[in-house]
């Protein structure tokens, strides 16, 4: 099958696809034959404001390239907004096949200075939004019947390893790790695979951070992420589910949650005490 036909006849929803990684993903799917639902609220990096122009511009670009696309502008953090994205796809295309949960915002601040509203806003878009979209998509494919479906979530290095000033963002992204693992188990019976990417890419979300200083779009642009997301969503990866794939430019790797061999019993007998646990820590932590 040629690259242009990999997603022929399939409908792919990409949230937060008016800019950056989401835009690159939407364009990738369109290039490979999919009809694409381009969802973007059109807000700024911190989630404030609304503007339909971002989503419309991506749809126009897809159509000019000979593809098919539909724009939606509702927030995935809102129950009705998330469900409306899926219903818009079903209304036009009559079915859905793939979902890419990419929508996100940043409100970075040291934890002791973080306001509850800053915490809630980030968790709502990233984690709640991914849940609402996954549930709406899952309910739709359940009605369609067992098939070959895929969801690709977006976690991050911050969520898996932690990062100063991002208690809200890293907590949301860590939650997406758990959501990915659990939904991959629950949706398997529907023929729906669920994976996640943990990308690092040069976009408006990251252009001002230190690690991107001197980095070019060719080296770390969102196009590299789109290639991996396309693979995970395709039937080429039909046996891949519940995995977390890191993407740093052309570097691709896997994050894994590991469990050490541990210690089966208290050395010398008796019960664990703080002192004994501290002494045994090297063995407890050893693989």
Q: What is the pLDDT of residues 185-209, one digit of tens each?
A: 999 999 999 999 999 875 555 555 6
Separation CA 12–CA 34 (nearest Å): 6
Compute CA distances 150 → 22, 137, 153, 186, 267, whole Å: 16, 10, 10, 13, 48
> Is the CB of residue 179 less than 8 Å from the CB of residue 133?
no
pLDDT at 60: 98
- The set of catalytic residues is 169
pLDDT at 220: 60
pLDDT at 202: 58
Which band of pLDDT confidence, cut at 50, 70 and 90, is reported for residue 2?
A: very low
Mean pLDDT for 152-169 is 96
Task: Name which CATH class applies to 3-256.
Answer: alpha beta
Which band of pLDDT confidence, cut at 50, 70 and 90, is reported for residue 255?
A: very high
pLDDT at 136: 98
pLDDT at 47: 79
What is the share, in percent, of the chain residues with pLDDT greater than 90? 86
pLDDT at 205: 59
Separation CA 256–CA 1 (nearest Å): 32
Mean pLDDT for 78-101 is 98
pLDDT at 1: 34
pLDDT at 210: 56
216 pLDDT above the threshold of 80:
no
Q: Which residue has the tokens 């968790």?
A: 123
Separation CA 122–CA 126 (nearest Å): 6
Tokens of 44: 């700024």
Which band of pLDDT confidence, cut at 50, 70 and 90, is reported for residue 221?
A: confident
pLDDT at 284: 96
pLDDT at 50: 82
240 pLDDT above the threshold of 50:
yes
pLDDT at 146: 96
| 205 vs 131: which has the higher pLDDT | 131
Mean pLDDT for 11-24 is 96
CATH 3.40.50.720 in the chain, residues? 3-256
Look over the chain and give the mean of its residue pLDDT values, rounded to a whole number. 93
Query: Mind giving me the DSSP string for the chain?
Result: --GGGTTTT-EEEEET-SSHHHHHHHHHHHHTT-EEEEE-----TTS----THHHHHHHHHHHHTT-EEEEE---TTSHHHHHHHHHHHHHHHS---EEE--------B-GGG--HHHHHHHHIIIIIHHHHHHHHHHHHHHHH-S--EEEEEE--HHHHH--TTBHHHHHHHHHHHHHHHHHHHHSGGGTEEEEEEEEE--STTTTTSGGGTT--HHHH-HHHHHHHHHHHHSGGGTT--S-EEEEETTEEEEE--------SS-TTSS---HHHHHHHHHHHH--
How does strand 251-255 pair with strand 244-248? Answer: antiparallel
């Amino acid at each position: 099958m040629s690259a242009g036909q990999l997603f022929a006849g399939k409908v792919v929803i990409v949230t937060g696809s008016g800019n950056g990684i989401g835009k690159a993903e939407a364009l990738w799917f369109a290039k490979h034959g999919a009809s694409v639902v381009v969802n973007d609220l059109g807000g700024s990096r911190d989630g404030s404001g609304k503007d339909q122009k971002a989503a419309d511009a991506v749809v126009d670009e897809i159509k000019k390239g000979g593809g098919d696309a539909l724009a939606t502008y509702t927030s995935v953090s809102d129950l009705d907004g998330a469900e409306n994205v899926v219903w818009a796809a079903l209304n036009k295309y009559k079915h859905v096949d793939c979902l890419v949960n990419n929508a996100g915002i940043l409100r970075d601040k040291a934890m002791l200075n973080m306001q509850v509203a800053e915490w809630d806003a980030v968790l709502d878009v990233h984690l709640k939004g991914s849940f609402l979209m996954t549930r709406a998509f899952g309910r739709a494919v359940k009605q369609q019947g067992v098939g070959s479906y895929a969801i690709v979530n977006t976690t991050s290095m911050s969520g898996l390893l932690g990062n100063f000033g991002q208690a809200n963002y890293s907590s949301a992204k860590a939650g997406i790790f758990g959501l990915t693992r659990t939904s991959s188990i629950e949706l398997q019976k529907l023929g729906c695979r669920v994976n996640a990417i943990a990308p690092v890419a040069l976009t408006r979300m990251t252009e001002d951070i230190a690690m991107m200083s001197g980095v070019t779009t060719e080296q770390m642009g969102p196009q590299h992420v789109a290639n991996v997301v396309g693979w995970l969503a395709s039937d080429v990866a039909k046996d891949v589910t519940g995995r977390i794939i890191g993407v740093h430019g052309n570097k691709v790797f896997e994050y894994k949650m590991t469990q050490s061999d541990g210690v089966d019993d208290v050395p010398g007998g008796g019960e664990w005490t703080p002192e004994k646990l501290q002494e045994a820590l090297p063995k407890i932590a050893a693989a």
